[in-house]
Structure 1
């Protein structure tokens, strides 16, 4: 008698994100997310059609954008064989955010590791992600970079880190530049300050 293999006979789930439907094997969401696993295990009333079982009854992911969901699917279900991922910073950010929301620990850790070098020149985004998605190791280094760099804070920086923190960073930048007026050997020609402001930042931000 022919029977279903216990590991390689997949159930599928149909998600609706914004105005698009996605049909994927359910097991990756079950294995990587306790949130989805618990949700999928909830009993269904007799005669009811489970969400995600058909195009007419999809599992709706409210508040999720297609532009963020597709990179997560590409990470979970690569359409081509690969040994490494080559996502952009924007794509990794989408993966990281959704992995955090859905408690996908392994995917979140992969995103953190992969984003680390890409965030070197994006300190405001690094601070924003550290604050809103609980990556403690990113907060102080991101703030240090904002104080050290030549370019002043702009509207994008303020939007990402918030006005209160932006004012603190601006004050530290002003303090350090006043204190370095007589010590120009500590400043690169382009104006980036080389001093480590970790203690000052920890004190100013109560970290």
Structure 2
């Protein structure tokens, strides 16, 4: 008697309803690819559950899932057998990741993460939402830093939720308070300024003040190199101190912690935020 192949399906078809749309799917595909559905369909079916999903009139209703995400994960489960070169959109990949976590589809997570990692144009808030909600460790720090630099829209707030919105709001308040304090710091002094024949010592306090105004109103979290570039631009635009004096001031600022505190605040907040999330590999380690 011939042996059966991996494509020998014994189950029937099941009907699902997602956002008012009906889907007719092979039970075997779901059982083979999803631990959640494998366990679900192994339970005894009695009463209403006995007929649920067997006809179009009595489908299995799937709450809390969009038809777009459901379609995407089905294309992943079915389509990859026929077209491994299919190009999934960013939204489709996000949907596959969400439902792979929800329904324990191991291959989905492994399939999506490298592809989304390679996409440099993904929206920072969408990226952070996936990193935090879907527990992707390697995305968390870079997506947090990118999201912190963005002004949130109502859609962004809805996407990341109240808790993370409050966290970012508090971080930005800390940043603003720090910039207020930095605004009143005195400019560093160097002998070159006083000795310069161009009287750079007279120009320097005003350049320093213009720099802090530009810094105060700048978007995002600025690091040491970005702030030095800003200072250089402010000095050039306002015909400030000479090149020799600027190089002397720049040398002095290398030891100035003030220019590094904003980026350090961001990274410290990102590390604390990361400690709030239980990632999938944390769960795996605990199981071991």
Please give the range of the TM-score, normalised by the shorter of the 2 chains: 0.7 to 0.9
Match of 1:192 in 2: none
TM-score by length of 2: 0.57
- Using the TM superposition, name which of 120-129 and 134-143 deviates more: 120-129
Look at both structures and tell me which one has the larger radius of gyration over its CA atoms: 2
Distance 1:152 1:24 in 2: 42
Please identify, of 54-63 and 23-32, the stretch whose mean Cα deviation from structure 2 is larger.
Answer: 54-63
The Cα of 1:169 is off from its aligned counterpart by: 4.3
SS of match in other structure, 2:119: helix
Q: Give the SS at the match of 1:77.
A: helix
1:69-88 maps to which residues of 2 (within 5 A)? Answer: 69-78=70-79, 81-88=82-89
**Equivalent position SS for 2:118:** helix
What is the deviation of 1:36? Answer: 0.5
Between 76-85 and 129-138, report the one with greater CA deviation. Answer: 76-85
- RMSD over equivalenced CA pairs, Å: 3.6
Q: Which residue of 2 aligns with 1:170?
A: 172
Higher helix share: 2
Q: 1:141 deviation in Å?
A: 0.9
Q: Provide the C-alpha distance between the structure 2 equivalents of 1:51 and 1:123, rounded to a whole number of angstroms.
A: 41
- The change in CA–CA distance for 1:121 and 1:65 in structure 2 (over 3 A counts) is closer
Partner SS, residue 22 of structure 1: strand
Q: Does structure 2 retain, via aligned residues, the 8 Å contact 1:14–1:22?
A: yes
1:55 matched residue in structure 2: 56
Q: Which runs of 5 or more structure 2 residues have no equivalent in the other structure?
A: 180-214, 217-221, 234-261, 276-288
CA distance in 2, matches of 1:42, 1:30: 12
Rounded to whole Å, the distance in 1 between the matches of 2:66 and 2:48 is 31
Cα deviation, residue 90, structure 1: 1.0
Equivalent residue for 1:135? 136
TM (norm. structure 1) is 0.75
Q: Is the 8 A contact 2:128 2:143 kept in 1?
A: yes
Alpha carbons of 1:42 and 1:84: their partners in 2 closer, same or farther (altered >3 Å)? Answer: same
